[in-house]
Amino acid sequence: MKEFCFYILLVFVLLFTACTDGDLEPVLSNDKDIDIGINKLEDLQGLANGMHDRLTATAYYGRNMQIYGEVRSDNCFANGKTGRFVPEAQMTVNPDNSNGPWEAMYAVIASANIIIQQDLNTFSGDSQKLKQIAGQAYVVRALAHFDLLRLYGQQHAGGTLGIPYVVRYKCDERMPLRSTVELNKKAIFEDIETGLNLMTEANNPNTKQFISTFTALALKARVALYFKEWEKAKTAAQTIVNSGKFEIVDAAGFVNSWKTKSGINSIFELAASSTDNLGINGLQFIYRGPSYGDIEVLDDLKAIFSETDVRNSPAMIGYETVTGKQRLRNMGKFPSADFSDNIALMRFEEMVLILAEAKIELEEPDALEVLNRIPSKRGAALYKEATKANVLLERRKELCFEGFRFDDLARTGSDIPLVDQFRQTHGGPKYASFKFAFPIPAVEMNANSNMVQNEGYK
């Protein structure tokens, strides 16, 4: 990180707050008085609130992370209306402009490490609840490092370097080294397992806006899928699928499910409300409307759906008239005009599709039945074969606009499809192009003499 001493002041000012039981929603702002007496459960919960809050930054899951996965694929393009996401859509990100997600994610990690480094034996309060919060911090640390690796690691860009895996919050760690992708993977899985060992299902939060044991399992399944560890992916996803805690939303309820908080298919979501949200800097404004609306849908995406598929309805993917022109938009996900939608990060449907893909890879006989659980609830035609191509197609249909498509292409060793040479400005890079990784930010390169830049960037 640039300067860890800088983060100490920043985190103490923004996050070091004590909360009562009535203040445990991880909202986007926290204006409570600073309390440096960290010695009880409520204090640790205050830190956890701030950690969850930082996930909602515009440069992270508040908007940008999802958009990176769409414009660098065959799902969406950046129309340049306000200039947002033009370099990302071109896959020509400049080191001078790549610091947003880097800083936002390491800020989350700093918050998690403050919690992890607390001596819980000195705290008053329920010991298991204290462990539960510590477990949440390990899971969040794994999530943020995984996301950094997906953006900045060389695993799909012809190299072996990953990102610095930061596990301490102290001033002498100002110039961390980049680890390898393999060591990053090992550390991510270790943090997830540590989190699971600290948490219990009985002590899971009663809201889906906080990390739970199911969040940890969902992250484990997602990471295992990314790294092709099929048995691990299957086991984690199967545990969630068999838990009886979640359901696939049916066709009748699918459109409204995107306006529902803590729905039957939600595993983990980030909180927002009509009075506490990212406003014009969130997902709603970038996907639609006359003011921003920089991200439009490529015709190729709409063409993959059948007419009866609810995901193809005008309420989900439809045309919006802007300046006299019809523009194909994501109309259904993150839809509320007052910006109050919670941000879905982990849905049950993703776990079903991870389970299906793992079963296909492992050649298990019930893979087709699992794969068809999603289309059977969407008014779509069922698949006749359980193939890799079909599960990737179903993932594209179900998870579009949520940021998964680029990584699905990358992890399967695919080139970026060029389906519209006029609207897609990246030109369809071949797999393992240096463009598959973001450059390390210039501010980091200038501040950290140990940092190595990704190939292809100066």
49 domain residue, yes or no: yes
CA 148, 71, 265, 54 torsion-angle sign: positive
Same domain flag for 267 and 396: yes
Calculate the average pLDDT of the chain.
92
Same domain flag for 202 and 98: yes
164 domain residue, yes or no: yes
Residues linked to residue 269 through DSSP beta bridges, in sequence order: 344
pLDDT beyond 70 at 224 = yes
In the chain, what percentage of residues exceed pLDDT 70?
Answer: 91
In the chain, what percentage of residues exceed pLDDT 90?
Answer: 89
Same domain flag for 410 and 432: no
Same domain flag for 137 and 244: no
Q: What's the rounded mean pLDDT across residues 362-378?
A: 98
457 domain residue, yes or no: no
Q: What is the residue whose two structure tokens read 């690796």?
A: 149
Per-residue HEC secondary structure of the chain comes to CCCHHHHHHHHHHHHCECCCHHHCCCCCCCCCCECCCCCEHHHHHHHHHHHHHHCCCCCCCCCHHHHHHHHCCCCEEECCCCCCCHHHHHCCCCHHHCHHHHHHHHHHHHHHHHHHCCCHHHCECCHHHHHHHHHHHHHHHHHHHHHHHHHHCCCCCCCCECCCCCCCCCCCCCCCCCCEHHHHHHHHHHHHHHHHHHCCHHHCCCCCCCCCHHHHHHHHHHHHHHCCCHHHHHHHHHHHHCCCCCCCCCHHHHHHHCCCCCCCCEEEEECCCCCCCCHHHCHHHHHCCCCCCCEEECHHHHCCCCCCCHHHCCCCEEEEEECCEEEEEECCCCCCCCCCCCEEEEEHHHHHHHHHHHHHHCCCCCHHHHHCCCHHHCCCCCCCCCCHHHHHHHHHHHHCCCCCHHHHHHHCCCCCCCCCCCCCCCCCCCCCCHHHCCCCCHHHHHHCCCCCCCCCCC
310 domain residue, yes or no: yes
Same domain flag for 435 and 361: no
Same domain flag for 106 and 167: yes
Q: What's the rounded mean pLDDT across residues 146-157?
A: 98
184 domain residue, yes or no: yes
pLDDT beyond 50 at 361 = yes
Predicted confidence at residue 17, as pLDDT, reads 37
Predicted confidence at residue 172, as pLDDT, reads 54
pLDDT in tens, 397-447: 999 999 999 999 999 999 999 999 999 999 999 999 999 999 999 999 999
Same domain flag for 184 and 249: no
If one counts the domains in the chain, the total is 2
pLDDT beyond 80 at 245 = yes
Predicted confidence at residue 243, as pLDDT, reads 98
Q: What is the pTM of this model?
A: 0.93
Predicted confidence at residue 170, as pLDDT, reads 67
Q: What's the rounded mean pLDDT across residues 335-346?
A: 95
Same domain flag for 244 and 313: yes
Whole-number Å distance between alpha carbons of 283 and 336? 10
Range of the domain at 188: 1-211+427-451
353 domain residue, yes or no: yes
Same domain flag for 309 and 173: no
CATH number of the domain residue 316 falls in: 1.25.40.390
pLDDT beyond 90 at 25 = no
93 domain residue, yes or no: yes
Same domain flag for 374 and 434: no
26 domain residue, yes or no: yes
pLDDT in tens, 33-76: 333 468 999 999 999 999 999 999 999 999 999 999 999 999 99
pLDDT in tens, 162-212: 999 999 986 455 689 999 999 999 999 999 999 999 999 999 999 999 999
Same domain flag for 357 and 243: yes
Predicted confidence at residue 19, as pLDDT, reads 36
Same domain flag for 54 and 175: yes
